[in-house]
Chains A and B, each alone.
Chain A
């Protein structure tokens, strides 16, 4: 049974129960997962789920409900519960209607039939190729790994006439490798794509092995100094999502929590800082023609040559600000399509792209007088309100006069990310897909590094 009968039933019930406006979001996902444990295939899992989320407005009050869908009765319960909550809520003068029906641009192709039909034998073969490549030579083992291949579909229907559908595939890998012996080094590698041919298992495994061997060579950083720091895409993504994406959200602008709330048209970074949200880039894990309220997505300049150009809006915050939705209402998780109906609608970039620079990574390193090229941070996050960060560097290459001189660890990288954006030295040429971002390496000048 397709999602449509459930979605339509829930909308009908919401209206019958007295809703003046209602919106129903439905999603279904099927995934094949594989876990590697200590170099062996430990778990193989099949997972299927489907569910609905209903938002209903009654007497200017809003209620929300979500439910897993086993029968049509669940769709009825979901709608009735949303009305029950709306009955006891407080009036909200802002939310008069849901996203209107607007035809968007053609939806990008993020569905790969080979990935959608990946078999148990196929996923085991991918895992074995990665593990064998990583463990070649016998110096490295693979303690853990996950491969998640999924296919998902979603549908949005509301009383303003919006009716959208989408489907996509997703391939997500996260592996660790470890050197043998005392004081081992650990390396980590991720892969994000929506098409099977994007994955090169041998190259992934070799990269995994190299990262573990680099980590084992690391010496503890000593002292305290300011230097140039090159951040890789995988760490930059989390830093950007926890700070810049937060400050670009109209919800946080309206709540005055955004550090950039009053900076529209002003400089928020160096001229190399160019950010767009591009939902039509087919490499993007969440790329789509419509958001999860059924509003058409748009390619948006967010920061152009360091100048703030735009915020991201959902329907609610667009109404609150007297603007139009930019199609950034999202329930998506770029690593797991399951349970999307349970996630709250949030303003998120659909596909945040930092425009590439001109230099390859080697060229960026050559121009650094004193600095480090980070491979792995403990946890890449920024205080979104203040921009403050203190990040434990788990593995990095130390650079002196344009050359890598050694590998270091146990350093604390401290500063303020919003200020750091003003000191961008260089932006790399090659981009990598990480979560809902496509990013290059970026070099920041004058960051504080503290050792033991």
Chain B
């Protein structure tokens, strides 16, 4: 396949591409879903395809398909160059550099392909069955997913790269009802690595806790509304890092001045003590990648250091335009989707406070517990995050369980009010879209952080 890709690169160069790459990618996914004691889904998904990408005068042409045959690939190379010529954008040329050659296998102990389907199925059954702690659990669900990607990339810089990515997830979700109210609780484990990630979980304890917490949720009260002292948990801290500060630090938004962080380098954007990074080299995290989809090795990019804004995440193109090195953040959902500047593992670094110490000073506030979703706003810098639940804090003590609520406000205002940062970072894996498409595996997180945020409960 590598020979065909190299020929496609030669073809695109000969047709006038100033830069080009050719990618072949396979993805194999296994999904097991057990619901209420029965197998609802046991599926296998195999995806394979090629993508030719050519750049002419600052515009890109892409041609992708599922047939890896030489003639089809070379035809796609022709079409990519023709498409690039249709564009009207301009941009700085991508600089030449020394070619890279590498073959990287995923770092893991037990490849999921070495574990039998029967063993995986038994584990998911246990994770589901143990959620049924009483009659108030009316629906129990467990899902296991493995995702193995193999990538082959050749480009006009002379790179010949081959690498593997392996990711696993186990999620449990229980629905509880008391006849009038219905509530939900979930938990999950995720990461890049082998089956040892899942084997490390006591799935019976994992499921039992999900069931018990779902039942507790039936007693949860409506959250208070309005500005309030809020201790965000690692998931909600991660949403602030990812959705607002992260998306707005993607350099493709900067070069077209669509980010509220354009020209922010060197400025204070957060309280002292706040440091935020995007780190694609974070081994074991869900967003770990050895290379991005342009062949740039992943790296650790400091975005905020001790409250001061430091810099952006870059692809080959944005780095060329801004005259800085690429950071390994040019990522695509798969071979059929375009490359954008994307995050990997994005998080706030730890501080030095225990959660108990952070609670002590709060007269009236809220402690968040797990997230439902969040939304980016690179233009306005607005923060919106939906928490799964939380706890009311009164006079430094936990005073009751709160059902789902939304947190909102201007990110820079929130970050300026942070007055306490926890001493432990946790990451949560998931997928991230650019706008409303192009979903890629990432993680986000941070420590517990205390700030002032506007709250609204549904």
Contacts and interface: CB of A to CB of B under 8 A. Distances in A.
Q: How large is the interface on B (under 10, 10 to 19, 20 to 34, 35 or more residues)?
A: 35 or more
A257 B139 contact: yes
Given A90-B39, A174-B435, A42 B89 contact: yes
Interface in B370-416: 372-375, 377, 379-380, 382, 384, 386, 403-406, 408-410
Interface stretch (B12-20, B59-67, B285-293): B59-67
Interface centre among A84, A256, A378, by most chain B C-beta atoms within 10 angstroms, is A378
Nearest to B184: A385
A323 interface: no
A298 B70 CA distance: 46
A43 B87 contact: yes
Interface string A379-402: 101110111111110100000000
Contacts of A85: 42-44, 117
Contacts of B377: 378, 394
Interface in A85-106: 85-86, 88-90, 92
A64 B42 contact: yes
A40 B43 contact: no
Interface stretch (B78-86, B188-196, B306-314, B442-450): B78-86
Interface centre among B31, B175, B406, B435, by most chain A C-beta atoms within 10 angstroms, is B406
A47 B336 contact: yes
B38 A92 contact: yes
Interface stretch (B46-54, B156-164, B345-353): B46-54
A386 B373 contact: no
Contacts of A338: 336
Nearest to B227: A452
Interface string A61-87: 111111111100000011001101110
A202 interface: no
Given A70-B48, A92-B39, A452-B227, A186 B379 contact: yes
A42 B456 contact: no
Contacts of A61: 39
Interface residues of A, number: 84
B409 A390 contact: no
B436 interface: yes
A89 B64 CA distance: 35
Contacts of A363: none
Interface stretch (A9-17, A110-118, A154-162, A407-415): A407-415
B35 interface: yes
A174 B436 contact: yes
Contacts of A66: 43-46
Given A35-B338, A452-B409, A386 B61 contact: no
Nearest to B256: A38
A258 to B, nearest CB: 9
Contacts of A386: 181-184, 403-404, 458
Contacts of B76: 46
Contacts of B375: 378-379, 392
Contacts of B437: 146, 335-336
B266 interface: no
B226 A450 contact: yes
A45 B42 contact: no
16 contacts: A42-B60, A44-B62, A49-B66, A50-B66, A63-B42, A65-B44, A224-B225, A256-B139, A257-B139, A386-B403, A387-B458, A390-B405, A390-B458, A394-B377, A414-B458, A450-B226
Interface of A: 33, 35, 37-38, 40-51, 61-70, 77-78, 81-82, 84-86, 88-90, 92, 120-121, 124, 143-144, 146, 174, 176, 178, 184, 186, 224, 255-257, 259, 335-336, 338-339, 342, 344, 378-379, 381-383, 385-392, 394, 409-410, 412-416, 448, 450-452
Interface of B: 31, 35-36, 38-39, 41-49, 59-69, 76, 79, 82-84, 86-90, 116-118, 121, 125, 138-139, 175, 177, 181-184, 225-227, 252-253, 255-258, 336, 338, 372-375, 377, 379-380, 382, 384, 386, 403-406, 408-410, 435-437, 454-458
Given A121-B86, A412-B454, A452-B454, 4 more contacts: A45-B338, A51-B47, A383-B458, A386-B404
